[in-house]
Amino acid sequence: MVVESQTDLLTQNPQASQMSSPQLSINPSSLDFGTVNLGASDAKTTIVSNAGSEPLTVTSVSIDNPLFTVNDATPVELNPGQSVPLSVTFTPNEVGPQSGVLTLGTNVTA
């Protein structure tokens, strides 16, 4: 599973990083569920953090594959340096590799 943001946060302008703004950090940025048996599920956690100097608001969380679910407790505001865990659960219903893209809506501007 790959994590992305609706605000294209993976590319940053060096000059923009000198200004005060929220900055989304996700660690790890991808989750590998390995082998999960049919009828079972597995949960993994990623940490969403604000590495910026202004409050970060996460307004929405979505995932594009229904075999993955995410605990959506939005909106949530993170002050600079704050973090929140985000749990993603994978429940396969067929054999074979699966992938999904997790999208976070935030107040970060590109």
The confidence score (pLDDT) of residue 5 equals: 40
The confidence score (pLDDT) of residue 72 equals: 78
User: Which residue ranges of the chain lie beneath pLDDT 50?
Assistant: 2-17
The confidence score (pLDDT) of residue 4 equals: 44
The confidence score (pLDDT) of residue 52 equals: 95
CA distance 78 to 76: 7
Kindly report the CATH number that applies to the domain delimited by 2-106.
2.60.40.10
Instruction: Give every strand in the sheet of 2-5, ordered side by side.
Output: 2-5, 101-106, 56-63, 76-78
> What does R_g of the chain's alpha carbons equal in angstroms?
15
Q: C-alpha dihedral over 31, 36, 41, 47, to 10 degrees?
A: -10
- Where do the structural domains in the chain lie, given as residue ranges? 2-106
For residue 33, the number of C-alpha atoms closer than 13 Å in the C-beta half-sphere is: 25
CA dihedral sign, ordered 93, 97, 103, 104: positive
The confidence score (pLDDT) of residue 102 equals: 94
